[in-house]
Structure 1
């Protein structure tokens, strides 16, 4: 339809024209575009005439009653009082309307499955997806999600007519329409009725029949805040695309595991068990190697003020394994100090263990705080055992070398 430009805004200032390459807001005397409201995104499309064309990115209310078309001029120029043809992106609108009607079906299904305590607490409806926030006291089980999803799809398959009537707020509530009490309603409201299943006050755009939605698919259910949940979902082509991608992924997993579909989980569990066994063997081997190295170097255990000291760099060990090795070495020397260091990627681990009989002469936690800064970190612990982490693996050798002189100064 044709409309007249009544005002133009650029960079927050009223101007008389926009030219090629400019971005701004156009205000028309009438518009077919839906302005962002009630969680639904604004329409997009094109404004044009014989001398001008622009892409409409979105449409919104900068102030109540005034509709701004956010545009980018593609060619020519536009002036105040020019006539333009306003064309919405119908494919995008249809996709958005499918998602919006689906939120109503979802709301009704949630109340049907979970109870009447469920209330809408917010939503975002776009052409590609939608999210729906609602009040509920706990996460939804897989069974509940399946019931809700199946109920929505059942109503889609029933191809129920979606009716829109304009009425007063009082009359709408009287007729059983669900209202969102955070929303501000005027004297006249639009009531969207989907058979005897759903009745809500809503100003958004909707399909004519539920069958137009095609398919509804829940993609996630999460917590937003205490007592508030969020469902994200897809409809129509996006839902089909999602299920096809999921199907492709399952097929790929099936082929990788060389397993029938029904046995995929069994195969994965077998692999997990196998990996656990390999890790146990690997851990045992690493500990044996570390112990073997210690036995080879046992004669070279250094003495500091009469105390036996083992300071070693151990490659390829995790922090828990390093702790176990420190305990093992501490038991082997009977009385002394063990300092172990290891690195993994950009992380450094340091462990210090002191036998109980020496904790009055040297405390592990005090010592670790001296060497941790060398590897760019900090640490702490008890007098018998302390650990530290750092982010400078290149400094690990320096930290271990300095440990001798630091211990010499600290031992009483």
Structure 2
């Protein structure tokens, strides 16, 4: 649709239509069918601009060329919704449009040179396909790594007051990985209390997982532990549910203390 609008406008520009400007009583202008904005306030006398009576006639206070040919060329650069059923377009004309075309041509040539192809669209589609394949493989590798980490953590767990306690600082790339490890541990054991921490780019991430039965029997709430115990130590914040909660902070220097204080709640 945008390209169709460009075609129509450029056709009218090439037609070199004279631009007629009149000042008319508002009622007379409205009878002529001049386009105007509903809700807009107009004076008794309005400025009416016509470019081909069958094509464009509207109330307008702007400055205009004497004929459409002087516009040169028209191209739409963007469009967006501004209200329900209303869209706004932004466009360039004349020398600005020509400069825009030149920049796009130059960028297109650079893309072809970088991709070493005469068909950049096809090459980009292939790159996207390859990226999707690699991402799926990476997800598979990550899942295996998380499963192995969870298995190792369960094997190293210690029993404190009949609770299988797992407290450790693990190496991961993002905080979400801690939550995934917690889910993996949940499928491997029971009667657990898990406190995992990670230092990620000098920042801290923490995840707490508590078995439903342990949470009820010992009146523990992972979300409250995050806010009351963890957040002050890592200079951050977080939250979650009573059995699973996470946090992130600016200080990664107290992660050993975080684990120690969390383990203390079940001792």
TM-score, normalised relative to structure 1: 0.56
The answer to whether 1:387 aligns with 2:246 is yes
| 8 Å CA contact 1:259, 1:267 repeated in 2 | yes
State the distance in 1 between where 2:211 and 2:182 align.
11
SS in 2 for 1:176: coil
Higher helix share: 2
The answer to whether 1:330 aligns with 2:189 is no
1:362-408, Cα deviation, whole Å (9 max, x unpaired): 33223222213322322222232222233x1xx33513433223332
The answer to whether 1:279 aligns with 2:135 is yes
1:349 maps to 205
The answer to whether 1:203 aligns with 2:58 is no
Consecutive unaligned residues of structure 1, counting only runs of 5 or more, are 1-143
Cα 1:343–1:303, aligned 2, differ >3 Å: closer, same or farther?
same
Higher strand share: 1
State the distance in 1 between where 2:117 and 2:178 align.
39
2:97 maps to 239
State the distance in 1 between where 2:19 and 2:201 align.
59
Cα 1:249–1:401, aligned 2, differ >3 Å: closer, same or farther?
same
| 8 Å CA contact 2:151, 2:188 repeated in 1 | no
Cα 1:331–1:199, aligned 2, differ >3 Å: closer, same or farther?
closer
1:372 maps to 231
SS in 1 for 2:232: helix
Count how many residue pairs are aligned between Structure 1 and Structure 2: 262
State the distance in 2 between where 1:202 and 1:289 align.
66
The answer to whether 1:172 aligns with 2:29 is yes
The alpha carbon displacement at 1:159 in A equals: 1.0
State the distance in 1 between where 2:236 and 2:156 align.
29
Higher relative contact order, structure no. (Cα contacts within 8 Å, ≥ 6 residues apart): 2
SS in 2 for 1:315: coil
State the distance in 2 between where 1:215 and 1:344 align.
52
Q: What does residue range 11-90 of structure 1 map to in structure 2 within 5 Å?
A: none
Cα 1:311–1:266, aligned 2, differ >3 Å: closer, same or farther?
farther
The alpha carbon displacement at 1:293 in A equals: 5.9
Q: CA RMSD in A?
A: 2.8
The alpha carbon displacement at 1:252 in A equals: 1.8
| 8 Å CA contact 2:209, 2:243 repeated in 1 | yes
| 8 Å CA contact 1:368, 1:386 repeated in 2 | yes
Q: What does residue range 223-238 of structure 1 map to in structure 2 within 5 Å?
A: 223-238=81-96
Matching residue within 8, 12, 17 for 1:160:
17
The answer to whether 1:304 aligns with 2:157 is no
State the distance in 2 between where 1:367 and 1:297 align.
21
The alpha carbon displacement at 1:218 in A equals: 1.0
The answer to whether 1:411 aligns with 2:252 is no
2:173 maps to 317
TM-score, normalised relative to structure 2: 0.83
State the distance in 2 between where 1:166 and 1:155 align.
23
Cα 1:348–1:229, aligned 2, differ >3 Å: closer, same or farther?
farther
SS in 1 for 2:254: helix
State the distance in 1 between where 2:126 and 2:202 align.
32
Matching residue within 248, 252, 258 for 1:402:
258
